[in-house]
Structure 1
């Protein structure tokens, strides 16, 4: 697919990781070349960041959860035994170390709206945007694990759509603090008059809503982007509606091209209906690449990896994502019609047919998710993978790929070594970073939220509006 100037559209990459063992490939921590067990070592993260920047990745996207996956078998025993996203550490604390060893790599970090008040959270956003010099993004999630809700003092999480209603107000408070409290020239640093900040240029936000009351000012000065790039990963109807007004980068997970094309179209239609350019969001789909110098070597590597993959660990993850205890099914059963209060788009995807035109069974789901989670796997030489990635972009209108790993950092090193050069040969991948902040690198239209974005309506001097 060509861009408006006739050049080939670039494929975009994010690395998908988490401050834990294994992330989306349960069991692979047993592989002798996997270093995900080093997640506690800040040098692992610094080295990974340098690898990704060498490969001109847009960024590293760091997932997070605040609970354990205890839906499978009604217990967290499997999650603990398999190392399935537990133990897990805070993702925000990794960013400083990665930022100091890179100059261009972006950082998209996950944080939920359910359990932290937006007032102190807005300060964390400003702080990281400052110290990364504007390379920070926030992945907005509403939560899906009942175990997190219980440990935060609730019987269960809010119902799916109500979680987004709560998140709408959460974002409103954050926008008011980041966009509407400090004027651009509030900090004067006037030594002669002894004035650091002009009080007349700092304003209370006076927010009173259903969930939050925040009368005062933001206590951080404006950062390079003011509002970090907003990421979002919901693909349910309510999630898409939320993303249409807020998201600038959207992560989806679709097992087939046909499902992905349908999802991308729905998202772009919703963005356009919200009064924004339909391509004003970057959409990345989850994918795992296993590659090597030759196709034969790549397939041999894949076969070796499968010996370490854990189907039980995969079903533990999938049960949490789907909100369904898959241990209650026979392996050859389809999941059928069920109601989910977790990630509804995940359930919906596996209620459709697979590439063979057959219903997904629990066994299919386990084998598919055991390496790379919810996304498909591409196996082949760098040239083969490059051609396939280009076809995904051309056929589905997706912008790029959120790349999960089989082993780390090996999967990412292989992509940088074998796939990136092949994409560049085809004119389908950037050869240098754009200047400026993460937002400008992604869109080339400056550092701040665009005028058609919902958050811009909360700027000083602009009447708050709903886009």
Structure 2
């Protein structure tokens, strides 16, 4: 049986996300990002086209890291301004029935007790359709916006992330037993106090007594997503993630990343199939190859390459505006380069990777131009490399998603590469066919189920 691919729309509640400059295009609603109708239109397009989810990115600050200032981020709206993706997800629950709503939240921005409550509330209201993209925030501006003088060192952020998710796991998985809620109106007992537990979490950063304020939601723990590409990031994904977002530059590069993370997952006692891999790609579609490439060139007329450099430089903590773009990456001992440079190197074995390669890689190497048939051919190559799904980036919204849904999805369905209809159940059940709504027993969160300290002794 052909393994179908998962398709998520990759977006951000901001005027400019990946293809900077295209917000100026007359046929996009990007500057209407504050208007809820923009997003309702989008999710209805996605659900009609049988996309699996909407994957919302986020940032926590604006850095002075392009030619020593933040001017270009303001002028070109590079992830600025940016609204809260969790609140947008909440607003879209009622506009959708099946679509997964995956939002980004950093360990910087919320205490795990507050975040666990917010995620459970969203999971309840959506009947189990939410996912959490766990990020550690590389930005200095983000750190300074949350009371740090400078960003936390790279590997230390991932140690912090392990501490953060452990606290959240205890709240989601350990506070309430499955049969704690009685809702017995006759006896006047809503919940059995013997089956509601304090977590009594004590760690370097957090002291949380609990219990979790929310009863168990359909998934208990939201679908867990992570996008780290460094050594520490891949280790974190192998241990905790159910899906990981990669930006490999070729199918062969993706195969290396997938095999590496799955191998590490097995070492943590998990199954290789416990982690899904979402590759970031974008598409320019034409009825002929000539039409597709003409449309691609027309879009390029709007793209601001300096803004692309500012975006990538911000993510890597490198001021590309002050460096020679033709110098090899190996010449620089810069912390932020390590993860993304790894993807470029894996895609180009033996190649001297230069700064210019990093600047253009995400926007151009991940773009597929062609007819629905040639795009499907390319997606078959990516699937053969081991990916499970695609985060579809846009040049224009919602038109890029409309074109993909109307022209590419039918060809993908004909080949068994896209779903015909939605499966029943939660987001986890929809993406992991044949599995239940909750995390498997192999996941590290499972060890916190049925914690032993009840909230109160039972009444005699």
If the TM-score is normalised by the length of the shorter chain, which range does it land in? over 0.9
Alignment-derived partner of residue 369 in structure 2: 379
Aligned residue pair count: 452
Q: Distance in 2 between matches of 1:359 and 1:405?
A: 30
Corresponding position of 2:30: 36
CA distance in 1, matches of 2:452, 2:295: 56
Partner of 1:419: 408
Equivalent of residue 76 in structure 2, options 69, 73, 82: 82
* Partner Cα distance (2:452, 2:87) in 1: 34
Q: Which residue matches 1:189?
A: 183
Matched, 1:266 2:256: no
Cα-Cα RMSD: 1.8
Q: Is the 8 A contact 1:337 1:351 kept in 2?
A: no
2:422 to 429, 433, 438: 433
2-structure distance, mates of 1:461, 1:142: 28
For 1:380 and 1:351, how far apart are their aligned partners in 2? 26
Q: Which residue of 2 aligns with 1:4?
A: none
Q: Cα deviations across residues 98-149 of structure 1 (Å, max 9, x unaligned)?
A: 2212111101110011232101111001000001100001011111110111
- How far the C-alpha of 1:362 sits from its partner, in A, is 4.0
1:235 aligns to what SS in structure 2? coil
Aligned-partner SS, 1:279: helix
- Give, in whole Å, the separation in 2 of the partners of 1:35 and 1:312: 22
> CA 1:196/1:462 → structure 2, altered by over 3 Å: closer, same or farther?
closer
CA contact (8 A) 1:20 1:86 kept: yes
Deviations 1:378-423 (A, max 9, x none): 00011110111011111x1111211111111111111101111111
What is the aligned partner in structure 1 of residue 103 from structure 2?
109
Runs (4+) of structure 1 moved beyond 6 Å?
none
Alpha-carbon distance between aligned partners in 2 of 1:352 and 1:198, rounded to the nearest angstrom:
54
Q: Is this contact kept in 1: 2:250–2:347, CA < 8 A? A: no
In 2, Cα distance between equivalents of 1:331 and 1:340:
15
- Range with greater deviation from structure 2 (330-339 or 95-104): 330-339
SS at match of 1:189: strand
Unaligned runs of 5+ in 2: 454-460
SS of equivalent residue, structure 2 residue 330:
coil
Q: TM-score, normalised by structure 2?
A: 0.94
Q: Does 2:392 correspond to 1:403?
A: yes
Name the CA distance, whole Å, in 2 between partners of 1:269 and 1:391. Answer: 21
- What is the CA–CA distance in structure 1 between the aligned matches of 2:410 and 2:452, rounded to whole Å? 45
**Partner residue of 1:280?**
274
Write the mapping of 1:12-51 to structure 2, written as runs, cut at 5 A. 12-51=6-45
- Cα distance in 2, alignment partners of residues 344 and 98 from structure 1: 36
Q: Distance in 1 between matches of 2:68 and 2:342?
A: 22
2:291 to 293, 297, 309: 297
Matched position secondary structure for 2:273? coil
Change (3 A) 1:283 1:351: closer
Per the normalisation by structure 1, the TM-score is: 0.93
Is residue 451 from structure 1 mapped to residue 441 from structure 2 by the alignment?
Answer: yes
Given that residues 144 and 341 in structure 1 are in contact (C-alpha distance below 8 angstroms), is that contact kept between their aligned partners in structure 2? no
Q: Is 2:381 aligned against 1:391?
A: yes
